[in-house]
Every structure is written in structure tokens, then in C-alpha cells.
């Protein structure tokens, strides 16, 4: 890596691809600081269903931006960019290399490309959109978004309710598509303020050799979560009384389905089926992001996690040493 700009490593990939194991292996070999890029790991008390690194794993490789919010709080992309920048600065000041690890691709994208200055949206508008979705379904609202903001709609999965609602709310309140705000911001921002111009960013992604392998890993991890007490974890959150499915935290993959089971909406088998389906959909969205990602070094996932971590660390070392 060049000496002209401070180095940063991105380690991305779909859920259950082995990112945590690889990050820990990398931390054992290099002077790095691991920073989580995960919209669910930020919440305290949400450990099992998020596959949060264990205390033992964190002792080997402490992770920044884990357990920084209560599940009742909301946390925006802008909040992440601010907090990630602080962690990156702290790591560089210590003479170390920050390694940003996770699967929340929107966070990575925001760091690289910046955030548009979006207008605020009020609760009434968002609530009205949620009510429409109950009648029409999110797929129809996605079609509505595509009619007024095709660029944003193309980047949002028809089942991603939170992002659809946000984009529609921006358009309804301002009369301007979200994609236009983003384009205007890119035109107005000086080139030297862009993330990739300030840092020497090397990007890696764990990519499954076969989709079926990733699905097997997802199913195995989901089974382990259930065995480790995932139901008890969500029951405690449910019994708090101040949480609901309207909050981003409880919309996290797996948590919504377990919540509905506890609320007697789903049977146990339905909860498992829907939880696995939602996790596979998440992985598909993450891989879609990565398919067109520029400047990416691919690390194939085709073996067990332990061997993967060792092999992946060697591959990363080879790439870094060649730069």
C-alpha cells in the first residue's frame, strides 16, 4: 500500500460468509483495528440473532461500533459515517490500519460516495406510507417509487420496506427524487473531499463459490442461534414494553420473525422458515451490491470457516504486499 495516503481495508461479504473469522485472523497477523460495518451489531442486547462476535473473539480482535445503541434508538447512515470517521482517525493516529468489516453495504457505499443532504421526513408521512403498504403491499409501493425515481428503485429490493418508505417520503415531501439529491451532492462536493481520494482503500469481499454453499452456512448458523437461546433473547426484548416492529432494531433479519412467533402470529416452524428465507434474501441483496462493486478483490468461500480464515488472511497479505 502506498505511503502517500493513510491506508484502509474494507472486508465485505454476504451474511454467514465468514467475515468475523477472517477479521480476527487478520488482526492476529497485522497491526490493525477492526471497525464493524453492521446495522444490527450496533444494538446492545442483540447478540445471538446478529451473530455478534463473542467475548472471546472480541478479546482477540476488539471491534469498534458494536453495542453503541439501545434497541429503542434509531441510528442513521449519517450517524454511522460520523462514528466510523472518528474510529478511522483514532486508528491512524495510533499508527495502525483500520479494517472495516461487515455486510451493511449501504454504509460502505455512503463512506465511499458520501451522503446527499436529504430533506427531513415527518412521522405522519412515514406512517401514511406504512398504512398504504398494509393494503397494497411493498411490491406495489416499490413500483410507485420506480415511476417517480427509477434510479433509486433500481438500487432497492422490492422487499426492503424501510428504504422504500424513506425514498417515497423524500419524494412526497419535497417533490424531488432521492437520486436527484445524491447527484446534486456529487456535483457540489469538491473532489478532494471524497473518501477514496483521502485514503488508500483496498477492498476485499468474501464471495461464495456456490449459492447453495452459502445457504448451507446460513441454515447451520441459524440452527446454532436457536440452540444458543435466540428465542430467550428476543423474549426479553419483547417483554421490555418499549420496543415494536416499527423500530429499525426489531426489523433486523431474524428478529422480526422471532418477534412474530412470540406474538403468536407464526408457528415455530413458520418462524424458522421465514427467518431463513429473510436471511437468504439479505445475502442475495448483499451479493447484488457486490456484483457491480468497483475495485474489489474477491476471496472465494468454498471451505470451512477455520480454513477460510487462514487462507483468506494469506490472500489478503499477498494483495497488500503487491501494492
CB 191, CB 197: distance < 8 Å = yes
Please give the grid coordinates belonging to residue 287: 451479493
- In this prediction, residue 246 has a pLDDT band, given cuts at 50, 70 and 90, of confident
Neighbours of 215 (CB within 10 A): 16
The pLDDT assigned to 162 comes to 80
- In this prediction, residue 4 has a pLDDT band, given cuts at 50, 70 and 90, of confident
> Which CA distances in Å does 158 have to 125, 138, 141?
20, 7, 8
pTM: 0.79
The pLDDT assigned to 191 comes to 35
Rounded mean pLDDT, 83-106: 96
- Name the percent of the chain lying above pLDDT 70: 91
Using CA atoms, how far apart are residues 107 and 84, in angstroms rounded to an integer?
10
If phi > 0 it is left, if psi is from -120 to 50 it is alpha, else beta; for residue 261 that is: alpha
Please give the grid coordinates belonging to residue 215: 445457504
> Which CA distances in Å does 58 have to 27, 96, 133, 155?
11, 18, 40, 33
Using DSSP's 3-state secondary structure scheme, residue 121 falls into coil
> Which CA distances in Å does 42 have to 37, 66, 112, 197, 316?
9, 5, 20, 28, 26
Which is more confident, 274 or 75?
Answer: 274
Q: Is the pLDDT of residue 278 over 50?
A: yes
Amino acid at each position: 500500500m502506498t505511503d502517500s495516503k493513510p491506508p484502509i481495508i474494507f472486508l465485505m461479504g454476504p451474511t454467514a460468509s465468514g467475515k468475523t473469522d477472517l477479521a480476527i485472523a487478520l488482526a492476529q497477523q497485522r497491526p490493525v483495528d477492526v471497525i464493524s460495518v453492521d446495522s444490527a451489531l450496533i444494538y446492545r442486547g442483540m447478540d445471538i440473532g446478529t451473530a455478534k462476535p463473542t467475548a472471546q473473539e472480541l478479546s482477540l480482535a476488539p471491534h469498534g461500533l458494536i453495542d453503541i445503541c439501545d434497541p429503542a434508538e434509531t441510528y442513521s447512515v449519517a450517524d454511522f459515517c460520523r462514528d466510523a470517521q472518528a474510529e478511522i482517525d483514532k486508528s491512524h493516529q495510533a499508527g495502525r490500519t483500520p479494517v472495516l468489516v461487515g455486510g451493511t453495504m449501504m454504509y460502505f457505499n455512503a463512506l465511499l460516495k458520501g451522503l446527499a443532504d436529504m430533506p427531513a421526513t415527518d412521522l405522519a408521512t412515514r406512517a401514511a406510507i406504512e398504512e398504504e403498504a398494509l393494503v397494497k403491499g411493498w411490491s406495489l409501493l416499490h413500483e410507485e417509487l420506480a415511476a417517480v425515481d427509477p434510479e433509486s428503485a433500481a438500487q432497492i429490493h422490492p422487499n426492503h420496506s424501510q428504504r422504500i418508505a424513506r425514498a417515497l417520503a423524500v419524494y412526497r415531501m419535497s417533490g424531488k427524487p432521492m437520486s436527484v439529491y445524491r447527484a446534486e451532492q456529487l456535483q457540489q462536493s469538491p473532489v478532494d473531499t471524497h473518501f477514496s481520494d483521502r485514503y488508500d482503500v483496498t477492498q476485499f469481499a468474501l464471495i461464495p463459490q456456490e449459492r447453495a454453499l452459502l445457504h448451507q452456512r446460513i441454515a447451520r448458523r441459524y440452527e446454532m442461534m436457536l440452540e444458543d437461546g435466540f428465542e430467550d433473547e428476543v423474549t426479553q426484548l419483547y417483554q421490555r414494553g418499549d420496543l415494536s416492529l416499527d423500530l429499525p432494531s426489531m426489523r433486523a433479519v431474524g428478529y422480526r420473525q422471532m418477534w412474530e412467533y412470540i406474538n403468536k402470529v407464526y408457528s415455530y416452524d413458520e418462524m424458522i422458515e421465514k427467518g431463513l428465507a429473510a436471511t437468504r434474501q439479505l445475502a442475495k441483496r448483499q451479493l447484488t451490491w457486490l456484483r457491480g462493486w468497483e475495485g474489489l478483490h474477491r476471496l472465494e468461500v468454498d471451505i470451512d470457516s477455520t480454513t477460510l480464515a487462514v487462507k483468506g488472511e494469506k490472500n489478503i497479505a499477498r494483495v497488500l504486499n503487491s501494492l
